[in-house]
């Protein structure tokens, strides 16, 4: 509680993040309409009291689809960030702590991944695997772990020669114990900060792949897919793109601001 009292912005953005998470969890119960149920009598209805944000080309309620899309988009982004952080941390710890030929192989592979434009490579991988939620996560995982690996490696290189690490070795501590008790606790704050700041970015990239047809498939109420479905009606029914795009903008902005404030709280260099 002291952290929240001393960091008003962090407390404010944390409250907004908690609100988004709660909306995602309870979206199926809060949605006024079935997001999958169409009604051809209500095709392309303008926003009204009955349909707060209008309806789409199949007569589905846009507000209900955006609300349920929060659950899908947030779940995908959080799973993706968690997987990227785990893979990148594992590679970075192994490369930084053991060094030698293992470090050379892992870091050259990471450099190779960083040499390609990430989203272009993700599109290529998703195109090969086929459009689906799982394949989108796999494609972005393949192209995004290298940044975490290099970050963690640089932190481990500074830690492995510290006195407390050498003392643990002299006392006969096992390598696994050193990694688990001394290395990981010291690198995790930066990993958590980086992951928190990447949630918004991952949501944007997931929505981008869905917009291009490589992510979630119809009739899934996913924000990027909703933008794709509404683009042909941009002149006759602009609400089909305006409201999903606004949802992406608001949620991504909140998570980016929350990540910045979390960095101010956790980053040891701020002390």
pLDDT digits (tens, 9 = 90+) for 49-64: 888 898 898 889 999 9
Q: Are 210 and 223 in contact (CB under 8 A)?
A: yes
Per-residue confidence band for 217, with pLDDT thresholds at 50, 70 and 90: confident
The answer, yes or no, to whether residue 178 has pLDDT greater than 70, is yes
Whether 3 maps to a domain, the answer reads no
Q: Which long-range contacts (CB under 8 A, 24 or more apart) does 116-123 make?
A: 116/143, 118/143, 118/144, 118/205, 119/143, 119/205, 119/208, 122/205, 122/209, 123/209, 123/212, 123/214
What pLDDT is recorded for position 51?
86
- Does residue 240 or residue 6 have the better pLDDT? 240
What pLDDT is recorded for position 89?
93
What pLDDT is recorded for position 3?
64
Angle of helix 118-129 versus helix 133-159 axis, rounded to 10: 140
Whether 5 maps to a domain, the answer reads no
Q: How many CA atoms lie within 13 A of 199 on its CB side?
A: 26
Name residues whose C-beta falls within 8 Å of residue 84's C-beta, 6 or more positions apart in sequence.
140, 141, 144, 145, 148, 195, 198, 202
Whether 61 maps to a domain, the answer reads yes
Whether 64 maps to a domain, the answer reads yes
The answer, yes or no, to whether residue 271 has pLDDT greater than 70, is no
User: Sign of the CA dihedral 153, 158, 161, 162?
Assistant: negative
List Cα–Cα distances, 166 to 153, 155, 172, 246, in angstroms: 18, 16, 10, 53
The answer, yes or no, to whether residue 206 has pLDDT greater than 80, is yes
What pLDDT is recorded for position 81?
94
Whether 219 maps to a domain, the answer reads yes
What pLDDT is recorded for position 4?
66
Whether 4 maps to a domain, the answer reads no
Number of domains in the chain: 1
- Does residue 268 or residue 108 have the better pLDDT? 108
Name residues whose C-beta falls within 8 Å of residue 161's C-beta, 6 or more positions apart in sequence.
none
Q: Which long-range contacts (CB under 8 A, 24 or more apart) does 123-129 make?
A: 123/209, 123/212, 123/214, 126/209, 126/214, 126/215, 127/214
What pLDDT is recorded for position 85?
94
- Does residue 184 or residue 8 have the better pLDDT? 184
- 161-179 residues labelled b (16+ CB within 10 A) or e (exposed): eeeebeebeeeeeeeeebb
**What letter would DSSP give residue 233?**
G
- What is the Rg, in whole angstroms, of the alpha carbon atoms belonging to the chain? 22
What pLDDT is recorded for position 1?
61
Place of tokens 């070795």: 169
Rounded CA separation 88/90 (Å): 5
CATH value at residue 188: 1.10.3720.10
CB atoms within 10 A of CB 267: 12
What pLDDT is recorded for position 226?
92
Q: Taking all residues of the chain, what is their mean pLDDT, rounded to a whole number?
A: 87
What pLDDT is recorded for position 40?
86
Rounded CA separation 46/23 (Å): 24
Rounded CA separation 24/189 (Å): 26
Interval 146-162 mean pLDDT: 89
Residue 61, SS3 per DSSP: strand
What pLDDT is recorded for position 257?
92
Which residues constitute the domain of residue 69? 10-270
Looking at 4-13, 81-90, 139-148, which range is the least confident one? 4-13
The answer, yes or no, to whether residue 67 has pLDDT greater than 60, is yes
Interval 199-209 mean pLDDT: 91
The answer, yes or no, to whether residue 87 has pLDDT greater than 90, is yes
């Amino acid at each position: 509680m002291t952290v929240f009292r001393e960091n008003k912005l962090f407390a404010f953005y944390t409250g907004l993040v908690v609100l988004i998470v709660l909306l995602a969890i309870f979206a199926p119960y809060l949605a006024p309409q079935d997001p999958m149920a169409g009604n051809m009598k209500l095709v392309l209805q303008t926003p009204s009291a009955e349909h707060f944000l209008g309806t789409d080309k199949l007569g589905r309620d846009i507000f209900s689809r955006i609300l349920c899309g929060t659950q899908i988009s947030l779940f995908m982004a959080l799973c993706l960030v968690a997987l990227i952080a785990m893979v990148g941390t594992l590679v970075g710890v192994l490369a930084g702590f053991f060094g030698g030929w293992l470090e050379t192989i892992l870091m050259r592979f990471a450099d190779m991944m960083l040499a390609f434009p990430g989203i272009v490579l993700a599109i290529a991988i998703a195109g090969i695997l086929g459009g689906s939620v799982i394949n989108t996560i796999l494609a972005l995982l393949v192209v995004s772990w290298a940044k975490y690996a290099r970050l963690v490696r640089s932190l481990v290189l500074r830690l492995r020669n510290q006195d407390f690490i050498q003392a643990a070795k002299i006392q006969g501590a096992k390598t696994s114990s050193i990694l688990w008790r001394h290395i990981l606790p010291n690198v995790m704050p930066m990993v958590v900060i980086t992951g928190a700041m990447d949630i918004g970015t991952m949501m944007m990239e997931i929505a981008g792949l869905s917009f291009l047809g490589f992510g979630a498939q119809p009739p899934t109420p996913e924000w990027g897919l909703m933008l794709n479905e509404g683009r042909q009606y941009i002149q006759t029914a602009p609400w089909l793109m305006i409201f999903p795009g606004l949802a992406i903008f608001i949620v991504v902005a909140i998570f980016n601001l929350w990540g910045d404030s979390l960095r101010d709280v956790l980053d040891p260099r701020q002390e």
